[in-house]
Amino acid sequence: MTNTAEFRDLTTLRVGGSISDFREPTTRADLIETFRDVSSAREPWLILGGGSNIVVSDEPFDGTVIHVTTRGIDRHIDGDRVLVTAQAGEPWDALVEWTVANGLAGLEALSGIPGTVGGAPIQNIGAYGAELADTFESLQFVPPRRGDVVTLRPDALNFGYRQSSLKDGLDGLVVSVTFALTPSETSTPIQFEQLANALGVPLGATVALAEIRRAVLELRASKGMVISDDPDSVSVGSFFTNPIVSEELSRSLPADAPRFSLRTERAPLIVPLGIEPDFADFDTEPAGVKLSAAWLIERAGIAKGFSLAGSEAALSSKHTLAIINRGNATADQVLELARFVTIRVHDTFGVVLEPEPTMIGFD
């Protein structure tokens, strides 16, 4: 018998159509076998974790969805580090809570991010000055169509800002993820001003792991960024990434636009007189500048809480970057609002906003 399900019951934005073939293997071996069978037999297939970074269309999904629910956390000591491996279906925040309770530093600033461990490397989750790549050691991965389980290390994954090869065309199943953590009751140095301020310490300070976790959870809750009964948390978190543009375009923006240069300091190229300069090893690529998507949206005249007439999709009343479902929004309404915001920002500043979540079933 084939099981059916609804995307709206499996995603945090609560939109999306029906699923005609829904699989929910419960053990690691079953998960791998199911994935091998499904990915060699038919298209399309989709792997679903916590459904917290995916927007699916209202149309029926004519394929197979594999819901990842495998659990388990193991550790082993490797010199002065502890390697912690979690199965893909483990809720991300349960892993963070476990590391904090066990005196392992490295993941504490990523407290409260929804979703699963297997979903976390897809966009290299990040918040409050930390990102998954900081402590990532490796992951176990199965390529489609009867592939073997392989171990992928950072060089195969090209982690960047909300980016990885897994989001950028490397299809397959993440079975488990391993992190290299530091045994310590105190945190790694705080890299984010708002978090330092909330704790009343300077940037770069370290405090107890549990203190970081508490402060991050409080900050996130105040922005509707933890899943709770707050109507502002019925979202995929940030709908847009912060755009990275050329220095030239960034200079055309108003003086008070937040800008973060991505140029890394490098030594000047010194060429002795009379010698032909060799630029081969000298990176002449123009550096990018990261802008604040929230600032661009607000300054394009779209305020928190905004919605289009007759639509159940709206911007969160606490966070301009989150699109929320106020109750009965359709995926089409979510997309309509996203398009409106994108066009308005483009018309005002010439900057193109990109969606952060995976979009499924849209043209």
Ligand X SMILES: Cc1cc2nc3c(=O)[nH]c(=O)nc-3n(C[C@H](O)[C@H](O)[C@H](O)COP(=O)(O)OP(=O)(O)OC[C@H]3O[C@@H](n4cnc5c(N)ncnc54)[C@H](O)[C@@H]3O)c2cc1C
Choices 41-49, 194-202, 242-250, 313-321; region in contact with ligand X by CB under 6 A? 41-49
DSSP-based three-state secondary structure for 333: helix
Catalytic residue among 111, 164, 238, 316: 238
How far is the C-alpha of 120 from the C-alpha of 88, rounded, in Å? Answer: 9
162 is catalytic: yes
16 lies in the site for ligand X, by CB under 6 A: no
# chain residues binding ligand X, by CB under 6 A: 33
Residue 10 vs 351, nearer CB to ligand X: 10
Q: Look-up: residue for tokens 């997309």?
A: 335
Residue 127 vs 253, nearer CB to ligand X: 127
**Which tokens in the block code for residue 205?**
């300070």
How far apart are CB 112 and ligand X at their closest, in Å?
A: 8
Residue 253 vs 357, nearer CB to ligand X: 357
Residues 294-313 that bind ligand X (CB under 6 A): none
**Which tokens in the block code for residue 355?**
């969606």
34 lies in the site for ligand X, by CB under 6 A: no
238 is catalytic: yes
In sequence order, what are the residues at sequence separation of 6 or more whose Cβ sits closer than 8 angstroms to the Cβ of residue 15?
7, 8, 55, 56, 58, 325, 329, 330, 331, 334
**Which tokens in the block code for residue 22?**
């829904």
Residue 81 vs 304, nearer CB to ligand X: 304
How far apart are CB 266 and ligand X at their closest, in Å?
A: 29
**Nearest of 337, 346, 90 to residue 235 by alpha carbon:** 337
122 lies in the site for ligand X, by CB under 6 A: yes
Residue 235 vs 333, nearer CB to ligand X: 235
Q: 10 Å Cβ neighbour count for 136?
A: 22
**Which tokens in the block code for residue 32?**
């791998």
DSSP-based three-state secondary structure for 139: strand
127 lies in the site for ligand X, by CB under 6 A: yes
Exactly one of 34, 39, 53, 57 binds ligand X (CB under 6 A); which one?
Answer: 53
CA 108 to chain centre: 16
How far apart are CB 282 and ligand X at their closest, in Å?
A: 34
**Nearest of 335, 338, 331, 357 to residue 15 by alpha carbon:** 331
Which positions lie near ligand X, rule CB under 6 A?
12, 46-54, 68, 88, 113-116, 118-120, 122-123, 125-127, 173-174, 225, 227, 233, 235-237, 358
Active site (catalytic) residues? 162, 238, 356
